[in-house]
Amino acid sequence: MAVLFNSEGVKVPKLPRQTIKKWISLTAENYQKRVGEVSYIFCSDEEILRINNQYLNHDFYTDIITFDYTEGDLIAGDIFISLDTVKSNSEKYKTDYDEELHRVIIHGILHLCGLEDKKPDEEKQMREAENRALELLKTL
Looking at residue 132, its pLDDT comes to: 98
pLDDT at position 1 over 90: no
Looking at residue 62, its pLDDT comes to: 96
| Tens of pLDDT, residues 83-130 | 999 999 999 999 999 999 999 999 999 999 999 999 999 999 999 999
Radius of gyration of the chain (CA): 14
Q: What CATH number is given to the structural domain containing 67?
A: 3.40.390.30
- Parent domain of 128: 2-138
pLDDT at position 140 over 90: yes
Average pLDDT over residues 46-51: 97
Cα gap 41→90, rounded to integer Å: 19
**Nearest to residue 84, comparing CAs of 102, 96, 97, 67?**
97
Ranges of H-type helices in 11-82 = 17-29, 45-56
pLDDT at position 135 over 90: yes
Looking at residue 18, its pLDDT comes to: 97
| Tens of pLDDT, residues 55-80 | 999 999 999 999 999 999 999 999 99
Domain count, the chain: 1
CA 75 centroid distance within chain: 13
Specify the DSSP class assigned to residue 70. -
Looking at residue 109, its pLDDT comes to: 98
pLDDT at position 48 over 90: yes
C-beta neighbour count of 28 within 10 angstroms: 22
Cα gap 31→41, rounded to integer Å: 24
